[in-house]
Structure 1
């Protein structure tokens, strides 16, 4: 009886561990770095680098819904679409802190093919206008992400279903960037001091070059897709007809992992966020000292016939290595 219980526990434990990884691993979406691969510095010098990541929660959002209306006349098309949009927006405007903008996209005629029958020749298909198609986009700005479900419910009641995208905005990006630069400055100074201690040298008077930059990733750019299914394999003849079922495609938010960064601001991510990356690099040329310019202390003054005094710059700067 004890052996049976132990065997069952092992199976259950493996099932739990498999669920923690998630179904996304059916298609091997993750490529883990299991070893550290560090390039050796060049003979001329070394590079000190610091990378930072900040997860910034959005302050406001803009959802874009697409609407389409067709009809036989321009008046019919305009009236039908305006009625749908107006009824929807009257309900949405009752929500707190909401701004709305309607964007005109296109207004084009719609054509169909008309068959021209001839007795002694082939059929001829002619395009003829049969109506008009009108497209408009509804932009909704809001600050509470929970309101998006309310907007979808209201718009769907008026046959508006196409949610094109949701954009994220933050008023604190400039403050976050300054904070990241300050953190990176302290860390890279610490790295350079550590290199000096390890090498028993000082880099005070050697040549240095610096570069840095930011990358901002929005949630709309960070979604991936996968299909999770397990199909059976059949040993069939080539002539066999196989009807495969349509597989459901899933979208999920995939943020940038924080494992490659020296520091992270707001490391825990629950909802989709704006992610800001910052990197600074300093190249230290250990073989080359800074160029210094020395000048003589002598000054020469020219007295003009009018009695004016002018300084003559006849000193030649010398470079000291």
Structure 2
């Protein structure tokens, strides 16, 4: 029996380790949540109020109809451009430029050997300025401070275009071997963005027709409604959606040098890609993504309000008594009534 209990405990511990590995470090931010509270009923109202409000949402009927549809498409980049910054100093302008050229030529040679030609690289000169230092000259009763040329400093950016994300590792290696470590950014480019917008528009029009059919089945004649419209489109790149967090565990290299004692360590800041989530979208094209993508969206909102009813004009007939006068030759007047009733 004791052996059986030991086996059960080992299995439970192993399952917890596996789940922890799959959960990842990001969830460590919830470390302060009491485990007793997790077992309490109604926990969603505390830790996820947005979902709870949506479930218990109260509907308010109205004769104004609203069709609000949203579509999102995840698009992989056609090409990428990585930008690295290089800084070089030297005693003279010629020496500084020569050292910079050697580093760039080394990068080009390594990349060309790995299928990235020189036509996919461009150099952007940022600055080329002299550097001065202050020379102190001591005199009998004073000191003189004079700026004298010390050397030159050259800064350039190298733009490298590639088509596959697998090539980026090769680019990093080539730059590192030339002592280039400053990655400025990576730009994403897609071709024929109008085709993407057209595809989203077609999907939204199909969905709008389905909504209109749905309202017709419910008994609403949309021909008796006035229509107002608003639409929008947008395009987001991965650089806009990187977020940071601090891992729960800390690493201290100083502790490795000491046999005893406690050494405080700074928690490492990590970054992760957090794209737009899908809960507010009616249509999502290419929803499953493996790598950062360009997210293109479109929204269309229609509001149907009842047309005002036409007022019918009512004509009221009034009876008018018509009379006529008969004047005799002797001057007497005789009044007669004219019967106009039919």
Common topology (TM > 0.5): yes
Q: 1:49 Cα shift?
A: 0.8
- Give the match for residue 254 of structure 1: 274
Once the two structures are superposed, residues 42-69 of structure 1 have per-residue CA deviations (whole angstroms, 9 ceiling, x without a partner) of 9672321111111111121111111110
Which position in structure 2 is the counterpart of 1:173?
193
Once the two structures are superposed, the pairs formed by residues 139-178 of structure 1 within 5 Å of their partners are 139-178=159-198
After superposition, the Cα gap between the structure-2 partners of 1:88 and 1:228, relative to the gap in structure 1 and judged at 3 Å, is same
- Which residues in structure 2 correspond to 1:87-236 (within 5 Å)? 87-96=106-115, 98=117, 99-115=120-136, 128-198=148-218, 200-230=219-249
Q: Deviations over 1:227-274 (max 9, x none)?
A: 10247xxxxxxxxxx963122222222222222211111111101111
Q: Pick which of 38-47 and 157-166 moved more.
A: 38-47
- Deviation of 1:282 (Å): 0.7
Q: Does 1:83 align with 2:85?
A: no
Give the superposition deviation at 1:208: 0.9
Larger radius of gyration: 2
Instruction: Quote the Cα distance in structure 2 between the aligned partners of 1:226 and 1:89.
Output: 36
Unpaired segments ≥5 residues, structure 2: 31-46, 251-261, 311-342
Do the aligned partners of residues 155 and 230 (structure 1) sit closer, same or farther apart at CA in structure 2, a change above 3 Å counting?
Answer: closer
**Closer, same or farther in 2 for the Cα pair 1:208/1:42, shift >3 Å?**
farther
CA contact (8 A) 2:249 2:267 kept: no
1:257-299 Cα shifts (integer Å, max 9, x gaps): 222211111111101111112111111113x3599xxxxxxxx
Following superposition, the deviation at residue 187 of structure 1 comes to 0.9
**CA 1:89 to 1:279, structure 2 compared with 1: closer, same or farther past 3 Å?**
same
Q: CA offsets, 1:139-183, max 9 Å, x none?
A: 111112222211222222221221211111122422221111111
Gap regions ≥5 residues in structure 1 = 232-241, 292-321
Q: Aligned match of 2:304 in 284, 293, 297? A: 284
- Report the equivalent of 2:12: 10
Question: Which secondary structure state, in structure 2, belongs to the residue aligned with residue 146 of structure 1?
Answer: helix
Match for residue 27 of structure 1?
A: 29
The two structures have a TM-score, normalised by structure 2, of: 0.71
How much does 1:17 deviate?
2.9
Aligned to 1:303: none
Which residue is equivalent to 1:53? 72
* Secondary structure of the structure 2 residue equivalent to 1:93: helix
Whether the 8 Å CA contact 2:235–2:297 is kept in 1: the answer is yes
> Quick check: 184-193 or 35-44, which moved more?
35-44
TM-score, with normalisation over the residues of structure 1?
Answer: 0.75
The answer to whether the 8 Å contact 1:97/1:143 transfers is no
Shift of 1:102: 0.6
Higher normalized helix content (fraction of residues): 2
- How big is the shift at 1:120? 6.5
Aligned counterparts of 1:62 and 1:116: Cα–Cα separation in 2: 50
